[in-house]
Structure 1
Amino acid sequence: MPLLVVGISVLILLLLMTRLRLNGFAALLLVAVGVALVQGIPVATIPDVLSEGIGDQIGDTMLTIGLGAMVGRVMGDSGAAQRIAGKLLDAFGPRWVQVAMVVTSMLIGVTMFYEVAFIIIVPIAFTLVRVTGAKLLWVGLPMSIALSTMHSFLPPHPGPTAVAATFHASVGLTLFYGLFVAVPAGALIALTWPRLPFVARLTPTIPKGLVSEREFTEEEMPGLGWSLFVALFPVALIVAAAVTDMATSGESPFLHVVAFVGSAPIALLLTLCLAVWAFGPRIGRSLTDVGASCTSAAQAMAMILLVIGAGGAFKNVLVEGGISDYIKDATDGWSISPIVLAWLVAVILRIALGSATVAVVTASGVALPLLAGSGVHPEVMVLAVACGSIAFSHVNDPGFWLFKEYFNLSVIEAIKVRTSYTTVLAVLGLGGVLGVEWGLDVLGL
């Protein structure tokens, strides 16, 4: 049974990494090969399946993570990150630092991918940890939870946008309704989870090489204007591209240029060029010093990227092994509420495959025939599928490894923290979606 194969493979992976202390990159590749053999993928094609999975995942994340890490380190080594962190503390106070992270993350995360927004904000979170002496998860976890919620629940992120197209739903209405679910659910979990005993007792430290450990004086730090301008520059480019894409249709050279400049890798590359000048020669730092900051960031990212790539290989083996098709066929005949079915299929696929995008696309295909004549608003169905796709993030999800490595957690610790919060978010999301559908019916909309 394919689901049994998934369960056993996850247990073996945990054994390799916790008991045998095998490196995560090697462990993921070993388990991926084993699953490929069990699922009947031809031996001759297994290397290609692994390479394709690694290539797809690294292709999506390496430029974003690598460039983002360099921007963050340049800002950190110049004092810009400390300047922004200090102003956040002045505005909210040390007592409300978590609220500051939630508000910042939700505003930025509405239009930006989880990985992109994470890489942009995490240097500020690290600096806040160093300046305030707070625990890493106390500051960083609310950021991650808020970003996860925005990315998974709302368009224009790829999963919800793809499902909206399948259900012929309005992207604008989906975003509008989704905010009533995502904001309260994300804020509640973001402010609750760091206070839970099993999270509060964890004391990971900031990974070496990702943030400057120097504390700058007031005179040494660049001004707030330049610090914010560089930090928000990629956000502005990406948001402009997303808004233009939703508000316009057709083809024109201008739209192509906007889409190009607003793509995450190009936006971050332009930001890095800006940061190198703004926090280098402009303030009297040599290009040699700035280059050393970039090199240090790249070295710190090497193992993180390898592990994320191996996670992509594991995910691709599960997809190529036919597990998504098996789940789709098994759930075709279920006779339950279309909203609950769409959510449940997305949850099962997420657990089995790890890919939220595969989960939402497949679940929307299962639920589409039930939408006609059901009376359910298509925008609500989109949110149901999107909420299900965040559940049970674990070792077959490349985002799990990004979270684990940046917060310097063991595999078991990351499962306790991330798998639990993503699952509760999915359940709260389903409750919120059912509430939105009820409210729309009451209002006669």
Structure 2
Amino acid sequence: MPLVLTALGVLLLLLLVMKFKVHPFIALAVSAFALAVMLRVPPLETVDAVQNGFGGTLATAGLIFGFGALLGKLLGDGGGSQRIALTLISTFGVRYTQWAVVAAALILGIALFFEVGIVLLVPIVYQMAKQTKLNLVWLGLPMATGLSVMHAFLPPTPGPTVVTLEFGAPIMMVILYGAIVALPTTAIAGPLFVRIARRYVPSAFESKQIGTLAKAADSREFSEEELPGFGISLLTALFPVILLLGAGVVTVVQTAVEIPDNFVLDLVNMFGQPTVVMMLAVLFAVVTMGLGRGRSMGEIYESMETAAKAIGMLILILGISGSLKEVLLVGGVGDFVADLMEGAPVSPLILAWLVAALIRLAQGSATVAALTSVGIMLPIVETTPVDPALVVLAVGAGSIIASHVNDTGFWIIKESFGLSVKETLLTWTVLETLISVCGLVFVLMLSLVV
């Protein structure tokens, strides 16, 4: 029954948005309360769940997107995004622009949370789309594919790192196997799939609508003489990556050599938190793309105010999508799926994928799906000869299947690229499922030779 009720809640949301044209923010709020009633969550707990889900999401994704929009606008108004876009286009050529954004996403995705990668890359991809006259979705979906694949399969991103440590898998083997799985999966689910998607949902690739993040970072065209140097532009864009990667390396070394916590390490870890990183990146951009470009503080303030206004509704949608996810968690949907799959007579790798996939479908969060799967799979990993590194990858593949309306990432993609709910389901949801299935297939193929 919990799964049936969840499906009814999702159906209600889709009807409100697609059939009756209710704004997503209102539709998500109504669906969250309706689902809580169906799952028999006590009234006061329902209110707490909605508030905690909203606040918890904004405490992370909200701040990241807020600072990210400011950073994107500063890069755009300072000419940095245009400089990076022009350099990538001249290096790869217009014909291979898609592969250029995929390569950028894979490289940046090593250190970035999915949400951080989106807010950093969407303004640059938008500039590349403007310069090449290509559709934003045509370039944006392959970019998001690269970020999603790295988020699912490769440490030091949070999910794979925690699952690796819990299973006691050698982290270098997870990275090696993860790279083998990630590269072909990205090619198939990214540029190759997008060519097919353009045929069966052409409206997504023909729309002239600009997504929220792109709109927030939009700026005037600069002449070649007005543009900043490529080095300082790239450094500004990569500043969050450098901080996150540095903190990640310190954490891995600390764990490997068992260094006890101390004030210096705590300080390093603080500067490796995404919200702090994005705040520091904005301050850095104020200098490099603002004051260093001869702009006054008044002009810089105006840029940031424009960006903040542009993403106001996106922030509300992200927050209320967290409320829906919290209702599902409080309603015990994830626990029900975990109990349902425990002890199933299936291959450990397929079971790991199934458990993570069902939990993901039921409650939306890839991270929660991955971490919940650990508790179910750990006894199996400890008592069977299965390679724990492959189990990590199977869990990662299952945890990102079929991103839909209960996933914050779904709304991020929808609002970033100016898609309708239907278009997002037909592109992003299918794309994530393709990543998940390809990941499982390549993991199973690897298991035959390692």
Taking structure 1 as the reference length, the TM-score comes to 0.96
SS in structure 1 at match of 2:217: coil
Q: Distance in 2 between matches of 1:24 and 1:403?
A: 14
User: What residue number does 1:289 align with?
Assistant: 299
Aligned partner (choices 424, 430, 435) of residue 440 of structure 2: 430
RMSD of Structure 2 on Structure 1 (CA): 1.3
| Identity of matched residues, % | 39
The unaligned stretches of length 5 or more in structure 1 are 441-445
User: What residue number does 1:252 align with?
Assistant: 262
Aligned partner (choices 265, 276, 283) of residue 286 of structure 2: 276
Deviation at 1:277, TM superposition (A): 1.6
Q: Distance in 2 between matches of 1:371 and 1:262?
A: 31
User: What residue number does 2:312 align with?
Assistant: 302
Poorly superposed stretches of 4+, deviation over 4 Å: none
Matches within 5 A, 1:212-231: 212-231=218-237
- Is 1:198 the counterpart of 2:200? The answer is yes
Deviation at 1:193, TM superposition (A): 2.2
User: What amino acid is aligned across from residue 321 of structure 1 in structure 2?
Assistant: G
User: What residue number does 1:378 align with?
Assistant: 388
Q: Distance in 2 between matches of 1:109 and 1:360?
A: 18
SS in structure 2 at match of 1:76: helix
Q: Distance in 2 between matches of 1:56 and 1:281?
A: 34
User: What residue number does 2:240 align with?
Assistant: 234
Deviation at 1:39, TM superposition (A): 1.1
Q: Distance in 2 between matches of 1:341 and 1:62?
A: 34
Paired residues, number: 440
Task: Tell whether the 8 Å contact from 2:62 to 2:318 is kept in structure 1 after alignment.
Answer: no
Deviation at 1:94, TM superposition (A): 0.7
User: What amino acid is aligned across from residue 438 of structure 1 in structure 2?
Assistant: L
SS in structure 1 at match of 2:156: coil
User: What amino acid is aligned across from residue 353 of structure 1 in structure 2?
Assistant: Q
- Is 1:127 the counterpart of 2:104? The answer is no
Task: Tell whether the 8 Å contact from 1:127 to 1:211 is kept in structure 2 after alignment.
Answer: no
User: What residue number does 1:416 align with?
Assistant: 426
Task: Tell whether the 8 Å contact from 2:149 to 2:182 is kept in structure 1 after alignment.
Answer: yes
Task: Tell whether the 8 Å contact from 1:323 to 1:352 is kept in structure 2 after alignment.
Answer: yes
Task: Tell whether the 8 Å contact from 1:163 to 1:361 is kept in structure 2 after alignment.
Answer: yes
User: What residue number does 1:97 align with?
Assistant: 97
Deviation at 1:391, TM superposition (A): 0.3
State which drifts further: 151-160 or 206-215: 206-215
User: What residue number does 1:361 align with?
Assistant: 371
User: What residue number does 2:81 align with?
Assistant: 81
User: Which digits, 9 at most, give the CA deviation of each residue in 1:264-301, with x for residues without a partner?
Assistant: 12222111111112222222111111111111111111
- Is 1:207 the counterpart of 2:217? The answer is no
Q: Distance in 2 between matches of 1:229 and 1:331?
A: 47
User: Which digits, 9 at most, give the CA deviation of each residue in 1:125-176, with x for residues without a partner?
Assistant: 0101111110111111110011011011222222222222321222232122
Q: Distance in 2 between matches of 1:244 and 1:15?
A: 48
Q: Distance in 2 between matches of 1:158 and 1:52?
A: 22
User: Which digits, 9 at most, give the CA deviation of each residue in 1:55-102, with x for residues without a partner?
Assistant: 111111111111111011111012110011000011001111011001
Task: Tell whether the 8 Å contact from 2:141 to 2:428 is kept in structure 1 after alignment.
Answer: no
Q: Distance in 2 between matches of 1:158 and 1:240?
A: 14
Task: Tell whether the 8 Å contact from 2:193 to 2:431 is kept in structure 1 after alignment.
Answer: yes
User: Which digits, 9 at most, give the CA deviation of each residue in 1:189-225, with x for residues without a partner?
Assistant: 2111221112444223223632324111011111112
Q: Distance in 2 between matches of 1:20 and 1:201?
A: 20
State which drifts further: 199-208 or 420-429: 199-208
Deviation at 1:416, TM superposition (A): 0.4
- Is 1:138 the counterpart of 2:129? The answer is no
Deviation at 1:412, TM superposition (A): 0.7
Deviation at 1:368, TM superposition (A): 1.8
